[in-house]
Amino acid sequence: MFLFCRKFVTMSLESAKRVASRRAVDDLLVNNTVVGIGSGSTIVYAVERIAEVVKDLSWNIKCVPTSFQAKQLIHKHNLNLTDLETNPELDICFDGADEVDEKLNLIKGGGGCLLQEKIVASCAKTLVIVADYTKDSTYLGEKYKKGIPLEVVPMCYYPVMNKIKKQFGGTVLLRMAQAKAGPVVTDNGNFILDWFVFDDKFDWEKTNQQLQQMPGIVETGLFIDMAARVYFGLVDGLVEKRVKKNWHNRK
């Protein structure tokens, strides 16, 4: 009985990721556009759907990856690969998230790709997040308990850890690799710190700015006021779409 229940939950999560990704692509993908491709398990389904649309309709879609994984996905599905040097302005970016709060603020970087993800997202007119129902929270840290990811320059990871603990409190850990000895090394040659301190009244916008000003921190996994839309795949197979208020007016 235990094994059956565990299998059911896993299948439901994958189904939720898939339905959210396909719905987002069907709603928002447009011909002759440049598209940012995020990283993580959910975005795999979005890329599969983009490839289907491109093949069926002979659309011209150029894709900018946020990681080595994303680049490999683009190659695997025979999509048109480009970069920010060639296409510095993107029409849309599809990406996942580790958690989404009620204001559509995000925690990203659980997979270690936060820097390139944020760069690509910042170049896109519209950042679209696809996620399963477990990522939906009222406030950041309500469900995601693995800390705020911070990408740091290796030479100063320890001083940065101490400064964060003194200024903000909490616990800061150097993320260690699972399949090899030593720390996780990002695509950019940096380390990842995970900062454990969550409070439903925490001012994450202000904190994010303070962290970014700390020498040695390259980027944070706090994506504040960046997402325009979020698609949540639900356990019953439906999709919940949320749109940031006044987004089109601001853009």
Residues 16 and 71 sit within 8 Å (Cβ to Cβ): no
Cα 54 → chain centroid:
24
Q: With left for phi above 0 and alpha for psi between -120 and 50, is residue 177 left, alpha or beta?
A: beta
Buried b (16+ CB within 10 A) or exposed e, 120-150: bbebbebbbbbbbbbbbbebbbeebebbbbb
Burial class for 19, CB neighbours closer than 10 Å (0-12, 13-18, 19+): buried
Which residues are annotated as catalytic?
117
Nearest to 195 by CA among 210, 180, 181: 210
174: enclosing H helix or E strand? strand 171-174
Q: 3-class SS at 33?
A: strand
